[in-house]
Amino acid sequence: MAENVRIEAYFSGHVQGVGFRFTGVDIAERFPEMAGFVRNLPDGRVEVVAEGPEEQVSAFIAALGDAMAPYIRRVDKKLLPATGEFSDFRIAR
């Protein structure tokens, strides 16, 4: 069994007020072994933290990026060890 990873991704552009968080939750449902959150940041970016098998987490970030591509100018990502702190994927405040 593959070790779980954590991806912290920050999406910049016109990413707030366009359904980004709800799209993130919808896409996350395709990846049942993945957990984490999506939230708006005060500086106008959207933060996504996802943990699970690396293949699922990477595919999720790619699918979210594809779905929201018209609104994204930049994505900054970090790959880290998973913490196991999440039990599901949700919108955070």
Q: Could you tell me the CATH number of the domain that includes residue 39? A: 3.30.70.100
The range of the structural domain enclosing residue 44 comes to: 4-91
Q: Which of 46, 18, 12, 52 is closest to 32 using CA atoms? A: 52
| Nearest-angstrom CA–CA distance, 73 and 50 | 20
User: Is 73 in the active site?
Assistant: no
**Amino acid letter, residue 43:** D
Q: What tokens does 25 get?
A: 């939750």
pLDDT of residue 3: 87
Place of tokens 């929201």: 68
pLDDT higher than threshold 90 for residue 26? yes
pLDDT in tens, 31-67: 999 999 999 999 999 999 999 999 999 999 999 999 9
Half-sphere exposure of 42 (CA within 13 A, CB side): 0
Stretch 63-81: mean pLDDT: 97
Indicate the number of domains in the chain: 1
- Report the predicted TM-score, pTM, of the whole model to 2 decimal places: 0.95
Active site residue: 4, 6, 39, 40, which one? 40
Active site residue: 4, 6, 21, 45, which one? 21
User: Is 39 in the active site?
Assistant: no
Stretch 79-83: mean pLDDT: 96
